[in-house]
Structure 1
Amino acid sequence: MRRLFLAALALPLMLVAACATTPAPDPSGDSLDAVAEDYVHLILEIGEREPGYVDAYYGPAAWAEEAKASPRDVPALIQGAASLTQRLNALSAAGAEPAVVQRKAYLLAHVSAASARLRMIGGERMSFADEAYALFGVRPELKPLSDYDPILTRIDALVPGTGPLATRVATFRNQFVIPTDRLQAVMDAAIAECRARTIRHIRLPANERFTLAFVTDKPWSGYNYFQGDAASKIEINTDQPIFTDRAIDLGCHEGYPGHHVYNALLEKTFVVDRGWVEMSVYPLYSPMSFVAEGSANYGIDLAFPGDEAETFERTVLLPLAGLTGAPVHEKDELNALVRQLARAEYTIADDYLSGRVNREETIARLSKYMLTTPERAAQRVRFIETYRSYIINYGLGRDTVQAWVEAQGPDRWKGMETLLASQILPVDLL
């Protein structure tokens, strides 16, 4: 069945949507539509028990008001999730088209993740890898930090100067800090370019749009709040200086072809065209996030392949930032090596969240292996404290999405669009 589904994804999206049929009526009178509606109610009520759990919702306003007025307690919600799983398992998808079969699998996976998050809210603690698997459907490999030391050695030979490597890297990167009074112009230009490159390949809803705001005192560097009706609110955190290449990263990741495009396509494909209400709510701690963060990070490389990001940064962003003569090529060489250190953070987070390593030592480890200042490392610890195993969705998610998209054929944008407008799960990517 997996191979049948993946083969169907190679067809144009509209053809898949048109040929999808529902399974034969269940003797009990239950249906995927009924379960999907109850699933949305479950997620909204969990959001009342954990602020931030619901990342986006654009379904009926009355449902959100009901959840706010009378949310079930955590034990009752756990039982509710178990009931949804039982109902889904009892529904037969025999004779249904692949899209409907996948819909059932998607709901099962997301109800399972919701159940795991409820148990965590109730006090259960899992190991880092177990938690990641329970919430996002992927078990990360936790390598010893010593495995990353050869990469540090290569970076040490690349970065000029003497003294601690993290300090030298920070000094080198400071050549690319965007002055505060030029941040708006640089971000506007970066997002506009990300959008222009994306709409050449992906057709977006005619009314898609976003607003941009700068904020402070957040554990993250950027966030996309999808509002529904193809609209997003993008916020950029200015607690730490922002580099010119980071403007490209944020423009692609939060906007195009990242989170904004993903949410807009899901809304159009499922909520508007098919009436599948489960896609009107986005639970943050779910398999959905592995695809969302992975595709948003891969979208940077997709939109700016080869040395195109380097060229755009040198010819457009650096002049807008009032920076001249900054060694862009050398910085990109550094970034390519630093990317290979990304999964060291999983081991560091595992040690910290388990209590084996204290906060001060964790900041030092992050500074060393992420090659950043203690201030930025402390902000990252705050992120880990808040989002825990969510961090796997960035590096591991990007690599997994990249491998899947590039295996679909030479037209990588087509593969990306198929992924973004689908209910593909992490297990399907693997």
Structure 2
Amino acid sequence: MEPSTYTGENAAEARDMDAVARFYVKCALWLGVHDPAFVDAYFGPAAVRDEALAVTVPPDRIAGYAADLLATLDRIDPDRLEESGRTRHTHLREMIRALEIRAGILGGQSLAFDAEIEALYGIAATEDDPDWYDEPHAVLDSRLPGNGDLSARYRAFMDSFVIPPERLEPAFAAAFAESRRRTTEHLPLPAGERLEISYVAGEPWEAFIRFLGDAISLVRVNADLPVTVDRALAYACHEGYPGHHTMRAIREAALVRARGWIEHSVVTLASPLATVAEGAAVLGEEMIFPGPERVRFFEEGLFPLAGFDPGNADLFDAVVTASTVLNLTGNARVARGYLGGALSRQEAYRLLQDVLLLDPEATQARLRFIEEFRAYPVALAQGYRVVRDYVGDGADRWERFVHALTEPLLPGDLTSSGSLG
């Protein structure tokens, strides 16, 4: 729509969307009180957060508020908006709809698991070949030392690449520094952007990142837990560069500050936008460390810092690649089977051990993760496939990846057209 066609009514509709977005942020913060995993980050105005958290709103009422917001959006004619306004209208609707569904579930509403996946994440759970894990198992069996039980051999191999505690700090620092350097070769980071790393003890998590706003993130690495050398790089790419920290710093500047779209100041775990964001974060490591470049960085960077023989880097990379496929696809399959009712908890436990090759402690932790985050593992796997297929392997793959990384996109935005939006 050309500027000359703007009217007072258009302006009113834009202000209506601003009001809807502001109240959506409050609803998300309210829901985060009941579901702490729902709000992954908030970097909007402190006054909005303080006003929201001054009261406690039950989930069923939040769902009702979300329905009212959707009704308000229905009264706004997208055809009267400029292109960016139409995009905002569509995406805001999907964000609110996901919040309504999640609040309803917490309020006691029942929803079939496949319907939950589609309603919250905007994707359909696809059926996989029941023998999907044969190929990665065959790769592991051919590459892992020794004979016999595959799970025991895999765990023994990975245990031999746990970073010694005294070498954890230089290994993580190098992984983040190199991933940042490679990322800046393809896209500029906002002025003042920084990521701070510290090392703690006595926490249940391996590593944790929080985006604080003003393009700043804090990373906490647990020096008590065993961390294999691949995890340093995977975490640096997925959470740091070009992953969530990069994504949030750029979107904060471009969407929240430049456009005033306050809805993007709250990052929720469950929404169709999260599906694409998570998919881009997973793909990030492949983008900046394609093919042999990850092996080279293991050989020349991380292995010497961690005290490992660089001559084992190629074998280690092959094992990690196969196990990554197992975990990404396997988590989704187990979550869908278990929460969808096709698998008992005992059967899900056995699959995690026999197929994903987890030890008993890791299996229990993975089951608890699935029970808490529900459809998220499915969205992670499907989001990765959607973004990977969209990016492709053509000459414009980096242009496409940056588009998926930095723009608020729905899964349908990437699958409905082969062109950049």
Contact kept? 1:113, 1:285, Cα under 8 Å = yes
1:189 CA displacement: 0.6
Aligned twin of 2:331:
345
User: For 2:20 and 2:386, how far apart are their aligned partners in 1?
Assistant: 30
Q: Please, what is the CA RMSD of the aligned residues?
A: 2.7
Aligned twin of 1:43:
28
User: For 1:387 and 1:106, how far apart are their aligned partners in 2?
Assistant: 23
Aligned twin of 2:366:
380
| Corresponding letter in the other structure for 1:250 | Y
Contact kept? 1:56, 1:281, Cα under 8 Å = yes
1:178 CA displacement: 0.6
Aligned twin of 2:306:
321
1:314 CA displacement: 1.0
Matched, 1:228 2:208: no
Aligned twin of 1:15:
none
Per-residue CA shift, 1:98-142, capped at 9, x if unaligned? 222111110010011001100111123433322221111111224
Aligned twin of 2:351:
365
Contact kept? 1:127, 1:350, Cα under 8 Å = no
User: For 1:128 and 1:240, how far apart are their aligned partners in 2?
Assistant: 33
| Corresponding letter in the other structure for 2:134 | D
Pick one of 74, 85, 91 that aligns with 1:106.
Answer: 91
User: For 1:317 and 1:22, how far apart are their aligned partners in 2?
Assistant: 56
1:418 CA displacement: 2.0
User: For 1:39 and 1:218, how far apart are their aligned partners in 2?
Assistant: 33
SS at match of 1:370: coil
1:173 CA displacement: 1.9
Aligned twin of 2:111:
126
Per-residue CA shift, 1:367-425, capped at 9, x if unaligned? 22223333322222221122111112333222211221237x52433322222221211
User: For 2:8 and 2:291, how far apart are their aligned partners in 1?
Assistant: 50
Aligned twin of 1:423:
408
Contact kept? 1:195, 1:256, Cα under 8 Å = yes
| Corresponding letter in the other structure for 1:308 | E
- Give TM-score scaled by structure 2 length: 0.90
1:299 CA displacement: 0.6
Pick one of 379, 383, 390 that aligns with 1:397.
Answer: 383
Aligned twin of 1:85:
70
SS at match of 2:81: coil
User: For 2:241 and 2:209, how far apart are their aligned partners in 1?
Assistant: 11
User: For 1:318 and 1:201, how far apart are their aligned partners in 2?
Assistant: 26
Aligned twin of 1:287:
272
Contact kept? 1:262, 1:420, Cα under 8 Å = yes
| Corresponding letter in the other structure for 1:280 | S
SS at match of 1:210: strand
Structure 1 runs not aligned, ≥5 long? 5-17
Contact kept? 1:145, 1:344, Cα under 8 Å = no
User: For 2:4 and 2:135, how far apart are their aligned partners in 1?
Assistant: 51
Pick one of 38, 41, 45 that aligns with 1:53.
Answer: 38
Aligned twin of 1:184:
169
Matched, 1:25 2:19: no
Matched, 1:336 2:321: yes
Aligned twin of 1:7:
none
SS at match of 2:41: strand
Aligned twin of 1:194:
179
Per-residue CA shift, 1:279-300, capped at 9, x if unaligned? 1111222223212221111110
Aligned twin of 1:278:
263
1:152 CA displacement: 2.1
User: For 2:389 and 2:322, how far apart are their aligned partners in 1?
Assistant: 19
| Corresponding letter in the other structure for 2:16 | S
Once the two structures are overlaid, the 10-residue window that deviates more, 92-101 or 312-321, is: 92-101
User: For 2:50 and 2:56, how far apart are their aligned partners in 1?
Assistant: 10
Per-residue CA shift, 1:4-61, capped at 9, x if unaligned? 9xxxxxxxxxxxxx98997862698662222111211221221223223221112221
CA gap 1:209/1:343 in 2 versus in 1, 3 angstroms = same
Contact kept? 1:285, 1:390, Cα under 8 Å = yes
Pick one of 307, 312, 318 that aligns with 2:292.
Answer: 307
- Give TM-score scaled by structure 1 length: 0.88
1:193 CA displacement: 0.3
Give aligned-pair identity as a percent. 36
What is the total number of aligned residue pairs between the two structures? 413
Contact kept? 2:163, 2:229, Cα under 8 Å = yes
Matched, 1:255 2:240: yes
1:176 CA displacement: 1.7
Per-residue CA shift, 1:70-104, capped at 9, x if unaligned? 23322221111111111112101214332221111
| Corresponding letter in the other structure for 1:58 | F
Contact kept? 2:190, 2:249, Cα under 8 Å = yes
| Corresponding letter in the other structure for 2:373 | Y
| Corresponding letter in the other structure for 1:394 | L
